[in-house]
Structure 1
Amino acid sequence: MQIVDRLMTPSPDDADARRCPHDGTTLVSRISPLRSAVRRCPACLRSWSDVTTSATADPPARFHSFRLDVRPEPAAPSAAPPAPELSVVLPALNEAAALPLLISDIETALAGESYELVLVDDGSDDATWAVIRAVLAERPQWQAVRLSRRFGHQAALLAGLAAARGRAIISMDADGQHPTEQLPEMVRRWREGARVVQAVRASDARGGMLKALTSRGFYRAFSRLCEAPMRSGAADFRLLDRTVVETVLQASRTTPFLRGLIPWLGYETHHLTYEPRSRIAGRTKYSLRRMARLATDGMVSFSVAPLRLATLVGAAVGALALADLIYIVAVALWDGRAVPGWASTVGLVALLGAVQLFSIGLLGEYVGRTYLALLNRPPYVVAERIGDSSGPPPAGERRA
């Protein structure tokens, strides 16, 4: 309750008394024997005096009563709903057919938990965004983010992590290959103290022998060259504690390679093995070219070891070229069957040219990434957002 003021009400015959037109209350306008401070009625803004007695004189007899005007305090604004304990980030690209079934499985797996879904549309050209809007119309406590164009899987994951509000954030693919049955176990291990719970594929048989071999080779090479212990079969199906997510967001000024960044951070990690399921619908978005690009991004963004490797390759090829020259000279001196000039020219040009082109291309990758970092462009642009989010939308973003 808020006390507006206390008025000494004069008798009706007081010539100096006035009435407030707002509520008819008799107010004191001028009282010379007493000290007063001019104020205004909060309702009608008419001046009136809050009368106080002098320290040396008693109030005149005609002022015989006091009035205490008490008004209720304005209602406090309603508090924002509490943040959920868990957030599940689902980056989606043309997954309109798979999302409803996957969301139903997630709801079954996390029944009884405090959680939200953060659905990220990575520039889909099918009905994915329409499906997402329909889902959030029934579940307003969830969130959705639509990127302005296709920025890539890693950028979409980063956008979901930035929007998530939970104390623990789970990321998984929207195609249904990551089994939702693992979610309760991931949450249990997090509550036992794990900062990172990483799911690891038990086998790569579904992708074919070539994919299995190349994937295993990349993970081993990355772990050795980049000093980040990345386990073979570990993809983007994981749970991260809020502290880990904040660190990732601070380190991600450009599009990160999350599969390498998270183990590189060194947080305590628990591993779960799982058997990947078949896609619910559609086809894979990771072609051989995109997987090669992802591998290149991971290597170049985490270490200068490829530059050192280029130096070693140059030294090795130089040694081979020297051995080739020695062989050519030996054949010319002892056998005489070598065509003069032809073998030496072809050998040297082929070997040294290959080393030079390889080294220049590798150096160009680093220079290009330095240039992109200096441009200071965001890793993604949000075109539209649905659901709760702290603060006003950034420039260029539209919020439903």
Structure 2
Amino acid sequence: MNRKALHPENIRLTVIVACYNEELMVEMFYRTVVRYVKKYDYRFIFIDDGSKDETLSILQKLSNEDPLVAYISLSRNFGQPNALKAGYDFATDADCVISMDADLQHPPDKIDLLVAKWQDGFDIVNTVRAVQMDGALNRRIFAKLFYRFVNIISTTQILADGPDYRLVDRKVVSALAEFKESTPYLKEIIPWMGFNCTAVPVNIESRSYGESKYSFLKLISLSLRGITSFSVSPLRLSSFVGVGLSFMSFLYGIYAIYVHLFTDQTVQGWTSIIASVLFISGIQMLMLGIIGEYLGKTFLASKRRPAYLVKEIRDVSFSRSVEHKPELRTTRPVAS
């Protein structure tokens, strides 16, 4: 397919949007973004990630109003990465897929630029923050440290300051459908694939209403998922630290025996001994925690549970030439 020769009305573009308690924003998001995608053969897929508010009711209303709005209602909250994975799994018939947040922080006026880059031949078009991310200082520091640490220990380099606002080609979407991980981490999975990619700078806007659904504890949990998803370097590091501490303890033991047998001095200092014991014990607990994290992931993977479960789906086609009534379904294969 010659992408460059495609006219906008012939490009089948799907916008996938993960929503969790976004009743204040989701309709505004749709009304805003639809103005930027009307030139394409577009379709929206909203994924309701187990919202407790009226998000699903609003999506049902939008789907009834616009035959090009589909939605997937998950049985509970599975988390944003799993919800986005559900969106990709149900968008394999698109020429290209754009993922966006429902809070309008991702500027829709960049959609044409993302599509243009795709037409230039790029299979993955990422976005990066053009300016320093907003938010609390501790979040900014934590994010910088996380990205730096992950890119040091992992062979897969993830994009620092890269939000989940990206365009991917249909071949990337088809490849994503082959991943059966119960805890997918898309920021590492997508660059790991190795398709031709580029990045464009964007200004991330402030939320108009509501607040971020990511607490600091959720960010830590997501970070642990990212660190342990594509690298065993923490396990190797724990081995090196264990060997180093054992060697230091061995040398200190030889020194203590020498002082006791060949000098009149005695090994003194309960404070230093207790401090050493506590330090080594703390390191041991840290190493056990790292091992436990990997064992936990192995335990969850062995259960072969799906990444998400669909409670209800309203699917739509791309065709705008034929009036298409949304189809309500309650069953469809889910990711495993």
TM-score of the alignment, normalized to the shorter chain, above 0.5: yes
1:6-25 superposed matches below 5 A? none
1:132 aligned residue: 59
Residue identity opposite 1:394 in structure 2: T
Summarize deviations over 1:108-161 as a string: whole Å, max 9, x none. 222311110000000101110011011011112221000000000001001111
Work out the CA distance in 2 between the residues paired with 1:108 and 1:328: 77
Residue 301 of structure 1 pairs with residue 238 of structure 2? no
Q: Kindly indicate whether the alpha-carbon contact (under 8 Å) linking 2:49 and 2:78 is maintained by their aligned counterparts in 1.
A: yes
Using a 3 Å threshold, how does the CA distance of structure 1 residues 114 and 87 change in structure 2: closer, same or farther? same
Residue identity opposite 2:268 in structure 1: A
1:64 aligned residue: none
Using a 3 Å threshold, how does the CA distance of structure 1 residues 396 and 221 change in structure 2: closer, same or farther? closer
Which of 98, 106, 114 is residue 41 of structure 2 equivalent to? Answer: 114
1:246 aligned residue: 174
Instruction: Give the unaligned 5+ runs of structure 1.
Output: 1-81
1:338 aligned residue: 268
Residue 309 of structure 1 deviates from its aligned partner by 1.2
Using a 3 Å threshold, how does the CA distance of structure 1 residues 345 and 337 change in structure 2: closer, same or farther? closer
Summarize deviations over 1:360-387 as a string: whole Å, max 9, x none. 1111111111111111110000000112
Most deviating of 171-180 and 83-92: 83-92
Q: Kindly indicate whether the alpha-carbon contact (under 8 Å) linking 1:118 and 1:142 is maintained by their aligned counterparts in 2.
A: yes
1:366-377 superposed matches below 5 A? 366-377=294-305
Which of 106, 123, 140 is residue 178 of structure 1 equivalent to? Answer: 106
Residue identity opposite 1:159 in structure 2: A
Work out the CA distance in 2 between the residues paired with 1:97 and 1:228: 37
Structure number with the higher strand fraction is 1
Residue 190 of structure 1 pairs with residue 118 of structure 2? yes
Q: What stretches of structure 1 move > 4 A for 4+ residues in a row?
A: 319-337
Most deviating of 223-232 and 94-103: 223-232
Residue 394 of structure 1 pairs with residue 322 of structure 2? no
1:46 aligned residue: none
Q: Kindly indicate whether the alpha-carbon contact (under 8 Å) linking 1:204 and 1:211 is maintained by their aligned counterparts in 2.
A: no
1:159 aligned residue: 86
Q: Kindly indicate whether the alpha-carbon contact (under 8 Å) linking 1:123 and 1:149 is maintained by their aligned counterparts in 2.
A: yes
Using a 3 Å threshold, how does the CA distance of structure 1 residues 130 and 246 change in structure 2: closer, same or farther? same
Q: Kindly indicate whether the alpha-carbon contact (under 8 Å) linking 1:331 and 1:338 is maintained by their aligned counterparts in 2.
A: no
Work out the CA distance in 1 between the residues paired with 2:244 and 2:131: 36
Residue identity opposite 1:338 in structure 2: Q
TM-score between the two structures when normalised by the length of structure 1: 0.72
1:263-302 superposed matches below 5 A? 263-302=191-230
Q: Secondary structure at the match of 1:234?
A: coil
1:232 aligned residue: 160
Root mean square deviation of aligned Cα: 2.7
Residue 321 of structure 1 deviates from its aligned partner by 4.6
Higher relative contact order (CA 8 A, sep 6+): 2
Work out the CA distance in 2 between the residues paired with 1:192 and 1:240: 13
1:349-368 superposed matches below 5 A? 349-368=277-296
Work out the CA distance in 2 between the residues paired with 1:279 and 1:329: 65
Using a 3 Å threshold, how does the CA distance of structure 1 residues 144 and 220 change in structure 2: closer, same or farther? same
2:4 aligned residue: none
1:200 aligned residue: 128
Using a 3 Å threshold, how does the CA distance of structure 1 residues 189 and 334 change in structure 2: closer, same or farther? farther
Work out the CA distance in 2 between the residues paired with 1:368 and 1:105: 42
Work out the CA distance in 2 between the residues paired with 1:375 and 1:253: 11
Residue 323 of structure 1 deviates from its aligned partner by 6.9
Aligned residues: 314
Using a 3 Å threshold, how does the CA distance of structure 1 residues 262 and 203 change in structure 2: closer, same or farther? same
Q: Which has the larger Rg?
A: 1
Q: Kindly indicate whether the alpha-carbon contact (under 8 Å) linking 2:42 and 2:68 is maintained by their aligned counterparts in 1.
A: no
Structure number with the higher helix fraction is 2
Instruction: Give the unaligned 5+ runs of structure 2.
Output: 1-8, 318-326
Q: Secondary structure at the match of 1:129?
A: helix
TM-score between the two structures when normalised by the length of structure 2: 0.85
Q: Secondary structure at the match of 2:305?
A: coil
Residue 259 of structure 1 pairs with residue 187 of structure 2? yes
Which of 137, 141, 146 is residue 73 of structure 2 equivalent to? Answer: 146
Q: Kindly indicate whether the alpha-carbon contact (under 8 Å) linking 1:151 and 1:380 is maintained by their aligned counterparts in 2.
A: yes
Using a 3 Å threshold, how does the CA distance of structure 1 residues 395 and 265 change in structure 2: closer, same or farther? closer
Summarize deviations over 1:252-297 as a string: whole Å, max 9, x none. 3322100011111111111011111011211111111111111111
Q: Kindly indicate whether the alpha-carbon contact (under 8 Å) linking 2:10 and 2:40 is maintained by their aligned counterparts in 1.
A: no
Residue identity opposite 1:254 in structure 2: S
Q: Equivalent pairs: percent with the same residue?
A: 31
Q: Secondary structure at the match of 2:224?
A: helix
Residue identity opposite 2:242 in structure 1: G
Work out the CA distance in 2 between the residues paired with 1:245 and 1:396: 16
